[in-house]
């Protein structure tokens, strides 16, 4: 939580007017800013000082290390990079923790909301700040609604051909749900499921750093989190929703081929 807060403050207060692009990701639409790299450096140095034997996996590559403690920190220093680049508020710092390969804890810092979401396995999910004030409020996902009355969030890939298929899936899905939202940050979408602001969320193409922290938070708030039938959430498909929404949504996404390009 301390590392996420420091990185969030750096990104919020240090955002320059004209952002320089340090590198490109999978296409010219998706950029990695200098601030993204600076935030990852801050997080990893902070954690390494306290946990020198742990492993690290960071989106920008600078944090990748095996470690020898059985603990690995999975870091997305700036989830919602394009939102950040354009001055939109929906971006976050996401830090998840794996223990012997199992996702066990996470924090998602959302600086422009002033909110911090956090959870650890078996101990519940909580939020503090923003509309919640100084209190630590326990999170609980919404009670299940019929799929036709469910507000569902998703995301789209930055590669045009992949995005085209995802748009076709969304076109087929829209008449069968209340509506669809696209926020631009997987970590925030998972937290919004946990907080009851969304009924469900799904996306294809997530990486471990996109979902590690948010998965623990959503799960500890009572949501089911998984992928294709019988599988965990992974790069093919991630779904988060309360029981009763999860199952019909998973079945529909399987039918629509949401798990492939």
Residue 102 lies in a domain: yes
pLDDT in tens, 131-180: 999 999 999 999 999 999 999 999 999 899 899 999 999 999 999 999 99
Owning domain of residue 163:
147-256
Average pLDDT over residues 21-37: 65
Are 174 and 122 part of one and the same domain?
Answer: no
Q: How many helices (H) and strands (E) does the chain have?
A: 7, 14
Are 130 and 23 part of one and the same domain?
Answer: yes
Residue 249 lies in a domain: yes
Are 178 and 227 part of one and the same domain?
Answer: yes
CA–CA dist 41, 31 (Å, integer): 17
Helix (H) or strand (E) holding 118: strand 115-120
pLDDT of residue 59: 84
pLDDT of residue 18: 66
- Whichever domain contains 84, its CATH number is 3.30.540.10
Are 169 and 248 part of one and the same domain?
Answer: yes
Are 159 and 220 part of one and the same domain?
Answer: yes
Query: Which residues, in sequence order, are CB contacts of 127 under 8 Å at separation 6+?
Result: 115, 116, 117, 118, 136, 137, 139, 191, 195
Are 185 and 119 part of one and the same domain?
Answer: no
pLDDT of residue 60: 77
pLDDT in tens, 209-252: 999 999 999 999 999 999 999 999 999 999 999 999 999 999 99
CA–CA dist 106, 61 (Å, integer): 19
Report percent pLDDT > 90 for the chain. Answer: 84
Are 106 and 50 part of one and the same domain?
Answer: yes
Are 12 and 33 part of one and the same domain?
Answer: yes
Among 230, 226, 177, which Cα is nearest to 203's? 226
Residue 261 lies in a domain: no
Helix (H) or strand (E) holding 2: helix 2-14
pLDDT of residue 32: 65
pLDDT in tens, 30-71: 556 788 889 999 999 999 999 999 999 998 776 677 899 999
Are 156 and 81 part of one and the same domain?
Answer: no
As for how many domains the chain has, the answer is 2
pLDDT of residue 76: 97
- Whichever domain contains 163, its CATH number is 3.40.190.80
């Amino acid at each position: 939580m301390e590392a996420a807060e420091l990185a969030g403050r750096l990104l919020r207060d240090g955002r320059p007017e004209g952002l320089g692009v340090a590198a490109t990701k999978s296409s010219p639409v998706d950029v990695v800013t200098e601030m993204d790299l600076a935030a990852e450096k801050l997080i990893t140095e902070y954690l390494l000082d306290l946990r020198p034997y742990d492993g690290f996996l960071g989106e920008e590559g600078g944090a990748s290390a095996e470690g020898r403690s059985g603990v690995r920190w999975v870091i997305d220093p700036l989830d919602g990079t394009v939102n950040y680049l354009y001055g939109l508020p929906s971006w976050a710092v996401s830090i998840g923790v794996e223990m012997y390969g199992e996702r066990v804890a996470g924090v998602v810092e959302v600086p422009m909301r002033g909110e911090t979401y956090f959870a650890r396995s078996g101990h519940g999910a909580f939020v503090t700040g923003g509309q919640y004030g100084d209190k630590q409020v326990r999170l609980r996902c919404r009670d299940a609604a019929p799929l036709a009355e469910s507000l569902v969030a998703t995301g789209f890939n930055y590669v045009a051909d992949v995005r085209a298929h995802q748009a076709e899936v969304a076109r087929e899905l829209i008449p069968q749900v209340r509506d669809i939202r696209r926020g631009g940050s997987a970590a925030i979408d998972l937290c919004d499921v946990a907080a009851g602001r969304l009924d469900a969320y799904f996306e294809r193409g997530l990486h471990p750093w996109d979902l590690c922290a948010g998965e623990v938070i959503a799960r500890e708030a009572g949501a089911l989190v998984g992928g294709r039938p019988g599988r965990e959430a992974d790069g093919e498909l991630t779904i988060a929703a309360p029981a009763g929404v999860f199952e019909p949504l998973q079945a529909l996404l399987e039918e629509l081929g949401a798990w492939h390009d």
